[in-house]
Structure 1
Amino acid sequence: MERRRSFPDVLAGGVFVLIGGAFVVGALGYELGTPLRMGPGAFPALVGAAVITLGLAIVIKGFIAGEVVSFGPIPWRAVAVIVLAVLFFGFTVEGLGFVPTSAVTALLTTLASSRVRLLTAVAVAAGLTVAGTLIFVIGLQLRIPLWGPWLGF
């Protein structure tokens, strides 16, 4: 029986370990507290440890039970549009406000696929904007203006 190693699994698991490690290192700058009175660093430390564990499991799976995966062409359009959407959100959320920035970001990411029609993309963007507003601005009470000063509101 031949054992194959899966480089994509090992690489993905390694990225998970690095991200989890960054969370744990960042959490150590805050007070961890006790199990009954957790401090602000406890949750990021626990999430980081969970991500590290998941990453190590993926690395082990890649070494033991890897499978040959053939990659197709890289969808450069999707990569570029999603990166552009994330940058747009980061640079404009304070100036435009949450609602218009979320709508444009959701529309851009939906249109990253060449198979999505414009009407479907608009419907998805509207739904995600409403859901994001309800969850983050109203539910979690993040201090992000719904409409920003660039729009004159």
Structure 2
Amino acid sequence: MGVVVPHGVLFRGSSEGRIRQKLIEENLLDAVIGLPEKLFFGTGIPAAILIFRKDRKTKDVLFIDASREFRAGKNQNVLTEENISKIVDTYRARKDVDKYAHLATPDEIKENDYNLNIPRYVDTFEEEEEIDLNAVRTERAEIKAELSKLEAQMDAYLKELGYAS
């Protein structure tokens, strides 16, 4: 059974935290699937699907970050057949997929105080390309020299036309 919930359900404390703890301890939660924002009419917030199963054979929980799996629409985003297939295939395979899915143990979830927020389990961080400051400095100097040359050329044209300053 799947239930669509706002992301707050995954991490808010108090009674919601105790409910999450019970779900994990009783081995009812099978997967947490993060969806993109603006997927549902009338709301821009991202949602998640909680998948519940009775009589599970394993105790791990699959986390899928499908928040970037969509086709942008004018007023709302759309899950394409390809996006849905990727989510379903990942769910069925129940394996870690770099920057997309993670199979978490109950101990791992307990260490996170039963917080089910997907970024705690699926690292989507992209390392930014390192900037070579010396190359930037050189390029900047070249651009400044070119600009100076063009300004001198422009001044000469203006002088020729009688618009000298």
Coarse TM-score class (shorter-chain normalised): under 0.3
Larger Rg: 2
TM-score (norm 2): 0.22
Larger % of strand: which? 2
Larger % of helix: which? 1
TM-score (norm 1): 0.23
